[in-house]
Amino acid sequence: MRDKLRKRIALSAVTALTLFVAVPVYADTYDAVYDDAALLSDEEQQSLSEEITNLQETTGWEIFVLTTEDAQGKTAREYADDFYDTTATGDDGVVFLIDMDNREVTISTAGEAIYYLNDDRIDDILDNCYDYVVDGEYASCFSSMLSDAEYYYEVGVPSDAYTYDEETGEIHYYHVLTLGEILFAVVLAAAVFAAVFFGITGKYRLKFGGGYQYDYHAFGKVNLTGQEDRFVNQMVTHRRIQTDSGSSGGGSSHSGRSTVHTSSSGRSHGGGSRKF
């Protein structure tokens, strides 16, 4: 009897140990530095991770620093877009990529970040980090891009911000209601409500209090009419803007423009890149 009991205890202990080992333990931290090309030291990765954390807290975006020496046959833009689409959990964010396979430094934006980091600003960011990546100072290159992204976030979205789809030519303007516009809308709504309310009370001579009751039998009526709407077609107007095929540096005439494209997963991305 005792032998059987000991065997059962030993079997239970082995089973519990097996379950403990088999259950994976997931870290509760967010690692945003993916140095697949081994360009960064441990200290540089730690420093960049701290910079990213601060920028994420400021912007609310998901931000990634990425290096690769094998783009898997993709362009640098495609590689950065696909990485964000398969890694990020939110709609707003940025990928900063140094692609040693295509010899290109690339920025891919998504969601809200598309408007903050427009074409001109991305050109400026790439200008500022270019010498670092050429000299092999990869951590400084990333740090420069992160610093510039924070600066432009604090500057805010340009007043003339819009997206231009390079594939369809569609344009979408960015607009956020100002405090003055919100107050005007509230006042206007209150004025309309007051006009309708007092117009109705005056028309029907409604009296409040005193037990007054509206004689709906005498004054109420309902007219029912039939109406059929048939949808025939829909017209969408597309405007195509000629792009500048020259230098990718800043100073173009499209100050608020963010050129967007569709990634392989169907998500809209902005961004830019520079060969080195």
Name the residue among 272, 276, 274 with its Cα closest to residue 118: 272
Q: Percentages helix, strand, coil for the chain, rounded to the nearest 5?
A: 45, 15, 40
Predicted pLDDT at 7: 53
Question: DSSP H helical segments within the chain, as ranges?
Answer: 2-22, 42-59, 76-87, 113-116, 119-134, 138-155, 179-204, 216-219
Residue with the bigger pLDDT between 260 and 5: it is: 260
Determine the Cα angle at 114 with ends 111 and 119, to 5°: 165
Predicted pLDDT at 178: 55
Tens digits of residue pLDDT in 231-255 = 544 444 445 444 443 334 334 445 8
Predicted pLDDT at 174: 86
Q: Which domains does the chain have, with CATH numbers?
A: 33-173+254-275 (3.10.310.50)
Q: How far is CA 37 from the centre of its chain?
A: 26
Contact indicator for 139, 65 with CB cutoff of 8 Å: no
Tens digits of residue pLDDT in 192-209 = 666 666 666 666 555 555
Contact indicator for 272, 248 with CB cutoff of 8 Å: yes
What share of the chain in percent tops pLDDT 90?
A: 59
User: 138-155 and 119-134 are packed helices; what angle lies between their axes, rounded to 10 degrees?
Assistant: 160
In eight-state DSSP terms, residue 34 is: E
Alpha-carbon separation of residue 180 from 52, 176, 248 (angstroms): 35, 11, 38
Name the residue among 84, 92, 94, 87 with its Cα closest to residue 121: 94
Tens digits of residue pLDDT in 24-80 = 333 333 479 999 999 999 999 999 999 999 999 999 999 999 999 999 999 999 999
Predicted TM-score of the model (pTM):
0.66
